[in-house]
Amino acid sequence: MNLVNIKNQFPIFSKKINNKDLIYLDSSNSSQKPKLVIDRLNSFYSNEFSNVGRSVHALAVAATNNYENTRVSVQKYLNAKYKEEIVFTKGATEAINLVASTYGQKYLKEGDEVLITELEHHSNYVPWHYLRNLKKVKIQFAEIDENGDISLESIKKKINSNTKIICITHISNVTGAVLPVKEITELAHSKKIPVLVDGCQGAPHLKLDMQDLDCDFYAISCHKMYGPTGLGILYAKKKWLEELPPYQGGGGMIKEVKKHNITFAELPNKYEAGTMQTAEVVAFDQSIKFIQSLGIENIMKHENELMNYALDVLKKNNSVKIIGNPKKKGAAISFTIEGIHPHDIATILDEDGVAIRAGHHCCQILHEKLGIHATARASLGVYNTKDDIDQLNSSINKCQKIFDLK
């Protein structure tokens, strides 16, 4: 399938930004939303709204069914074994906090080690950091090589008898480096160590199969998958969700509450305390349908071709330094231009309607390792085209002229 005119399905692309057509190159941060998803949110609130899992009136029953239908869609999309392995959360950040908190509480003790990598987003470091203070747990960092890759070897080097969990990103949100997650999981499991994958940048861009990947936990950010904000998913193998304690306490996650004892609800309700993101979950079903209507293989091919094109174009500009040169690259390119601060690049590009991100992208460990404070990042979504990359390039050239660098 040729992915053309996808922008037509996204209302935002009919708007002018700074009087220019929007060139949206910030999808690693959050993707734009197709009309299908926006309409579903609107129609749910307008015609069908009710909270889920509580009342027995018609609206509540229909809303609960729709909510649970999305769980089944996600289960099928991820090829998870059971629908109970899909837990809705506020975002990927909450999904990782859920695991760090409950796994930390139950299994970690002084001297135990959590192995992460130098590529991790703060969301896959800070939740583990809390356990340093709480439980005197150590954090080890697998190191990147000169290309910015995390190899199986670099993980192997940091595993020892104290390693109790390995937590790795699927794709770096800075360099786009794709990690050998399946191989790392095989290695970890051979040593009886569970693996958590931060799938924020993997889920929108890769074909996922939880049973093939075999990781224990996979955290997803729905707003990066053409879905609503405020919604994430934790995939976790059923045995973990059964073994681990609940994360938050409140309504919906209990079976029986007595003055001296509380029992908890069956999976997955045990992990979904309080009123959930009802409309967002219902609408996320349309995001999955949108991705399926295009085909994830076609999306991967399209984004891959576009990424190679972008690299070719940007590499012709000698002043543009691309950060990292990973063997397999996802949909993000971070770069610097000598003499121009990334925030100035982003501000000048914005005048042309080109939306990129500048900063440390919540990866200060990586930036420190690379000896830089900030980078500019262009990241792709299914709606991007070669024309977008050409506009990015010409706006970068304009930026260099403004700074007298051309």
Ligand X SMILES: Cc1ncc(COP(=O)(O)O)c(C=O)c1O
Q: Contacting ligand X (CB under 6 A), which of 26, 198, 216, 352?
A: 198
Q: Is 379 in the site for ligand X (CB under 6 A)?
A: no
Strands 232-236 and 86-89: antiparallel
Report, in Å, the least distance between residue 197 CB and ligand X: 10
200, 215, 222, 362: which is the annotated catalytic residue?
362
Report whether 95 contacts 232 (CB < 8 A).
Answer: yes
Strands 16-17 and 20-21: antiparallel
Q: Determine the interface stretch with ligand X among 120-128, 155-163, 312-320, 384-392 (rule: CB under 6 A).
A: 120-128
Q: Is 173 in the site for ligand X (CB under 6 A)?
A: yes
Report whether 109 contacts 138 (CB < 8 A).
Answer: no
Q: Determine the interface stretch with ligand X among 38-46, 90-98, 179-187, 301-309 (rule: CB under 6 A).
A: 90-98
Q: Is 324 in the site for ligand X (CB under 6 A)?
A: no
Q: Active site includes 362? A: yes
Q: Is 22 in the site for ligand X (CB under 6 A)?
A: no
Cα–chain center distance at 335: 21
Q: Is 377 in the site for ligand X (CB under 6 A)?
A: no
Cα–chain center distance at 165: 20
Report, in Å, the least distance between residue 368 CB and ligand X: 17
Report, in Å, the least distance between residue 161 CB and ligand X: 29
Q: Is 246 in the site for ligand X (CB under 6 A)?
A: no
Q: Is 121 in the site for ligand X (CB under 6 A)?
A: yes
Q: Contacting ligand X (CB under 6 A), which of 201, 269, 277, 278?
A: 201
Q: How far lies 77's CA from each of 199, 277, 284, in Å? A: 14, 20, 12
Identify the three-state secondary structure at position 234: strand
Q: Contacting ligand X (CB under 6 A), which of 7, 40, 91, 391?
A: 91
Write down the residue that tokens 């040593």 correspond to.
191
Biggest CA–CA distance in the chain, Å, is 74
Q: Is 169 in the site for ligand X (CB under 6 A)?
A: yes
Q: How far lies 393's CA from each of 309, 396, 400, in Å? A: 11, 5, 11
Q: Where are the alpha helices (DSSP H) in 225-295?
A: 238-243, 278-294
Cα–chain center distance at 353: 25
Q: Contacting ligand X (CB under 6 A), which of 200, 208, 320, 366?
A: 200
Cβ nearer to ligand X, comparing 97 with 185? 97
Residue 99 CA to residue 217 CA, distance in Å, equals 8
Active site residues: 362
Q: Where does this chain bind ligand X (CB under 6 A)?
A: 28-29, 91-93, 121, 123-124, 169, 173, 198, 200-201, 221, 232
